[in-house]
Amino acid sequence: MLRLLALLLVLAIPLQAEEIVSDLSQDEVSINATFDGSDILVFGAIRRDAPEPEGELGVIITVAGPDQHVTIRRKERKFGIWVNSDEVEIEQAPSFYAVASNAPLEDILRPSEDLKNRVTTSQAVRQVGANVLDSGSFAKALVRIKSDQDLYQLNEGAVSLSEDTLFSTSIEMPANLTEGDYATRIMLTRDGTIVDTHETVIPVQKVGIERLLYNMSRENAFWYGIMSLAIAIAAGWLASAAFSLIRR
């Protein structure tokens, strides 16, 4: 009798009824000299200990780059030319943010859940202490500009879901990535409520010569400068030497 009750309880708690099992096509993204963006395949399955519960099933996958503190400036016409005038600071905005889902987000995610878990792009951009009128338009501008650069992506319907169990999608990471840890979330929703979340991290790093040069420019800025000049002088001398050789 007690056992039956326990089983019923387990079934009643939706969190344990369905669980995400997933993996990525690559554990990390390496930015090397010929890096030109990268596609990451996110795939997995929904494990069930019991028959499938009722309600519309949703799979939402988000990939968020490291947060940045950004300043957004708006141009105004002054003295006949367009100059930056008002500015709004956004405390935390992901450098990259991709949302993919198996259906339109409004159908599979309640606004309250979105607010709590910061799923959609507009929620992921956190804005504090705005001192400019219509500061909302600045956050919108941020999303618009980043979307144009493919740094913010919303792909509703990009997650393919077969037999309500297997899911997969491909996240396209552009060439202009910032280094850091990219937090990946896979969320499972039933009737707009999140029932399970699976989180993992994709490290994005410069490697090889890119890493070497970048580190050198920050840590040994003086010698980096000297090296740049040495290369320039050497190239200049080589050119001059080649000139006189050809003329001779």
User: Residue 166 or residue 216: which is nearer to other proteins going by CB?
Assistant: 216
DSSP-based three-state secondary structure for 44 = strand
User: For other proteins, which residue of 12, 51, 54, 69 counts as binding (CB under 8 A)?
Assistant: 69
Q: Using alpha carbons only, what angle is made at residue 94 by residues 100 and 216, rounded to the nearest 5 degrees? A: 125
Q: Say if CB 189 and CB 206 are below 8 A apart.
A: no
User: Residue 137 or residue 197: which is nearer to other proteins going by CB?
Assistant: 137
Neighbours of 194 (CB within 10 A): 22
User: Residue 105 or residue 139: which is nearer to other proteins going by CB?
Assistant: 139
Shortest Cβ 38–other proteins spacing (Å): 11
For residue 93 the two structure tokens come to 């905005």
User: Residue 47 or residue 73: which is nearer to other proteins going by CB?
Assistant: 73
Q: Using alpha carbons only, what angle is made at residue 59 by residues 58 and 64, rounded to the nearest 5 degrees? A: 135
User: For other proteins, which residue of 23, 27, 39, 87 counts as binding (CB under 8 A)?
Assistant: 87
Helix (H) or strand (E) holding 113: helix 111-117
Q: Cα separation of 109 and 81, whole Å?
A: 45
> Binding to other proteins by residue 233, rule CB under 8 A?
yes
Q: Which stretch binds other proteins (CB under 8 A): 10-18, 51-59, 114-122, 227-235?
A: 227-235
Query: How many residues of this chain interact with other proteins, rule: CB under 8 A?
Result: 60
Q: Say if CB 125 and CB 142 are below 8 A apart.
A: yes
> Binding to other proteins by residue 217, rule CB under 8 A?
yes
> Binding to other proteins by residue 131, rule CB under 8 A?
no
Q: Which stretch binds other proteins (CB under 8 A): 5-13, 152-160, 189-197, 214-222?
A: 214-222
> Binding to other proteins by residue 16, rule CB under 8 A?
no
User: Hey, CA dihedral for 95, 98, 104, 106, is it positive or negative?
Assistant: negative
Q: Using alpha carbons only, what angle is made at residue 177 by residues 142 and 88, rounded to the nearest 5 degrees? A: 25
Tell me which residue of 160, 199, 159 sits closest to 64, measured CA to CA: 199
> Binding to other proteins by residue 74, rule CB under 8 A?
yes
User: For other proteins, which residue of 37, 55, 111, 203 counts as binding (CB under 8 A)?
Assistant: 37
What residues numbered 157-176 form the site for other proteins, per CB under 8 A? 175-176
DSSP-based three-state secondary structure for 79 = coil
Q: Contact positions toward other proteins, by CB under 8 A?
A: 31-37, 68-75, 77, 80-84, 87, 89, 138, 141-142, 144-146, 175-176, 178, 206, 209-211, 213-214, 217-218, 221-222, 224-229, 231-233, 235-240, 242-243, 246
